């Protein structure tokens, strides 16, 4: 296995930008159409095709580059398994709305694996809509970093295997802000009015605001969230917050429509290649640590192939290639060593956003669970802010 990692280059910057635009457009508008498509193919296509289908977020793996095939291509080549890798998740909740009719009716999806945030994993586990993962056939699970193993919502690691983790914090364009930003309060600076965006991912936006209010987000309560809700609502009404976004904040950052926003660590690391003035900072009051996991929907047919995929991406060399491209926190032990070995990626091995050290870990907090009724109340309140 060659340890040579694909170099990170900015040559594909324009292409990435267009891909992002396309992904945004598709995610924003085509969801209902896809719903139909999902229905049609999902009911009839249960077995037999022998094709592993994975749904995930866009730009979440190393892409094919000239002369350097990406992970998807190499997996196909190395294993001979047919893999359909769909980057069709833009917004977690919209994706849930797409898969819900099938799963609620007890019918299988086309997908064999889905990459979704841990809070959604918790919901799906609670609903009984997941298959246990075939982890007995994934010997590389021994490479899972210990602190991500056996999370409270999946205590025996039966249903989920981490894909990547990351940090929600502040992204900004130093030229546009004219100064370094350090705290959530900076996002509410009147000088930046109308040039700030926040995330539609409620736990990230609310988590950061609540941390800034000195609240404990590991056990979020309705009462503790009220000041943050009020602050967010006021900022929206005042025009301080220009948009609430999914992945699409990246376009606005690159186009110069945003001076600062709530964003995700790895995204910004990738965007810096195209726009060197961009910065990412974990706010003084703390950042929100999230985790996306691989899940198998009920009735998935290709367990053997899914196991092969999970085993493959948990191989440290492969995981390092993915990490070098997406620059999130890899859940695989040994990635850091792999990156350090190669001069082209050695700098990444020292990146504290990819490999948080003790001090950084202290500043990162995970958003705790919300009960089903609490969550409904939170989402309604949050939507009343984000949807005007």
The secondary structure element, H or E, covering residue 222 is helix 222-238
Strand segments (E) across 156-304: 160-173, 196-199, 241-245, 260-264, 278-281, 287-297
Residue 123 near other proteins by CB under 8 A: yes
Q: With respect to other proteins, which residue has the nearer C-beta, 42 or 356?
A: 42
Residue 383 near other proteins by CB under 8 A: yes
What's the CA gap between 43 and 27, in Å, rounded? Answer: 22
Q: Which stretch binds other proteins (CB under 8 A): 101-109, 220-228, 312-320, 344-352?
A: 101-109
In degrees, rounded to 5, the angle at the alpha carbon of residue 257 between the alpha carbons of residues 251 and 258 is 90
Rounded (10°) angle between helices 303-313 and 71-79: 120
191 by Cβ neighbours in 10 Å (0-12 / 13-18 / 19+) ranks as exposed
Cβ 39 to other proteins shortest distance, Å: 13
151 by Cβ neighbours in 10 Å (0-12 / 13-18 / 19+) ranks as middle
**Which one among 1, 29, 136, 223 touches other proteins, defined by CB under 8 A?**
29
Please list every residue from 255 through 274 that binds other proteins, using CB under 8 A. Answer: 255-257
What's the CA gap between 8 and 296, in Å, rounded? Answer: 31
Long-range Cβ contact pairs of 176-181 (< 8 A, separation 24 or more): 176/256, 176/258, 176/259, 176/260, 176/277, 177/259, 177/260, 180/279, 180/281, 181/260, 181/279, 181/281
Q: Which two tokens stand for residue 287?
A: 């950042």
Please list every residue from 210 through 239 that binds other proteins, using CB under 8 A. Answer: 236-237, 239
Q: Which stretch binds other proteins (CB under 8 A): 87-95, 281-289, 351-359, 361-369?
A: 87-95
Residue 127 near other proteins by CB under 8 A: yes
Cβ 378 to other proteins shortest distance, Å: 11
Q: With respect to other proteins, which residue has the nearer C-beta, 91 or 267?
A: 91
DSSP 367: -
**Which one among 2, 142, 358, 372 touches other proteins, defined by CB under 8 A?**
372
Size of the residue set binding other proteins (CB under 8 A): 40
Q: Are 218 and 365 in contact (CB under 8 A)?
A: yes
Backbone angles phi, psi at 57, to 5 degrees: -75, 155
Of 309, 291, 177, 193, the C-alpha closest to 242 is 193
Cβ 36 to other proteins shortest distance, Å: 12
**Which one among 121, 210, 241, 320 touches other proteins, defined by CB under 8 A?**
241
Q: With respect to other proteins, which residue has the nearer C-beta, 82 or 384?
A: 384
Residue 292 near other proteins by CB under 8 A: no
Residue 385 near other proteins by CB under 8 A: yes
How is 140-194 classified by DSSP, letter by letter? Answer: GGGGB-GGGSS-TTSTT-SSEEEEEEEEEEEEEEHHHHSS---SHHHHT-GGGTT
Cβ 373 to other proteins shortest distance, Å: 8
Q: Which stretch binds other proteins (CB under 8 A): 131-139, 250-258, 280-288, 297-305?
A: 250-258
Q: Tokens 């490999």 map to which residue?
A: 355
**Which one among 77, 234, 376, 377 touches other proteins, defined by CB under 8 A?**
376
Residue 32 near other proteins by CB under 8 A: yes
Residue 203 near other proteins by CB under 8 A: no
Q: Which stretch binds other proteins (CB under 8 A): 52-60, 154-162, 289-297, 378-386?
A: 378-386
Of 18, 372, 368, the C-alpha closest to 219 is 368
Residue 371 near other proteins by CB under 8 A: no
Q: With respect to other proteins, which residue has the nearer C-beta, 195 or 203?
A: 195
Query: What are the residues binding other proteins (CB under 8 A)?
Result: 21, 25, 28-29, 31-32, 91, 93-94, 97, 100-101, 104-105, 123, 127, 193-195, 236-237, 239, 241-244, 251, 255-257, 372, 376, 379-380, 383-388
């Amino acid at each position: 296995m060659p340890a040579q990692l694909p170099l990170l280059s900015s040559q594909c910057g324009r292409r990435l930008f267009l891909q992002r635009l396309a992904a945004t457009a598709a995610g924003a508008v085509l969801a209902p159409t896809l719903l139909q498509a999902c229905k049609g193919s999902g009911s009839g296509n249960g077995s037999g095709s022998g094709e592993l289908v994975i749904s995930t977020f866009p730009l979440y793996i190393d892409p094919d580059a000239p002369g350097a095939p990406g992970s998807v291509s190499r997996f196909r080549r190395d294993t001979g398994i047919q893999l359909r890798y769909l980057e069709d998740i833009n917004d977690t909740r919209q994706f849930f709305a797409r898969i819900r009719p099938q799963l609620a009716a007890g019918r299988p999806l086309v997908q064999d694996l889905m990459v979704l945030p841990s809070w959604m994993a918790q919901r799906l586990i609670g609903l009984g809509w997941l298959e246990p993962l075939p982890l007995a056939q994934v010997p590389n699970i021994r490479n899972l970093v210990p602190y991500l193993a056996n999370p409270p919502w999946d205590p025996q690691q039966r249903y989920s295997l981490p894909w990547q983790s990351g940090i929600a914090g502040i992204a900004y364009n130093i030229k546009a802000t004219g100064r370094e930003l350090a705290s959530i309060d900076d996002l509410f600076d009147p000088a930046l009015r109308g040039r700030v965006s926040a995330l539609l991912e409620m736990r990230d936006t609310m988590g950061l605001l609540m941390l800034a209010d000195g609240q404990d987000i590991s056990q979020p309560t309705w009462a503790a969230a009220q000041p943050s809700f009020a602050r967010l609502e006021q900022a929206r009404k005042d025009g301080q917050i220009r948009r609430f976004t999914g992945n699409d904040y990246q376009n606005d950052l690159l186009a110069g429509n945003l001076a600062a926003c709530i964003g995700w660590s790895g995204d910004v690391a990738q965007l810096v290649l195209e726009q060197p003035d961009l910065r990412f900072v974990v706010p003084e009051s703390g950042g929100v640590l999230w985790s996306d996991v691989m899940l198998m929907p009920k009735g998935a047919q290709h367990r053997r192939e899914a196991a092969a995929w999970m085993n493959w991406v948990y191989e440290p060399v492969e995981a390092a290639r993915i990490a070098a491209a997406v620059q999130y926190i890899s859940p695989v032990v040994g990635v850091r060593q792999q990156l350090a070995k190669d001069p082209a990626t050695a700098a990444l091995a020292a990146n504290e956003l990819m490999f948080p050290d003790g001090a950084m870990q202290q500043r990162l907090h995970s958003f705790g669970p919300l009960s089903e009724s609490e969550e409904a109340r939170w989402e309604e309140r949050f939507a009343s802010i984000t949807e005007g």
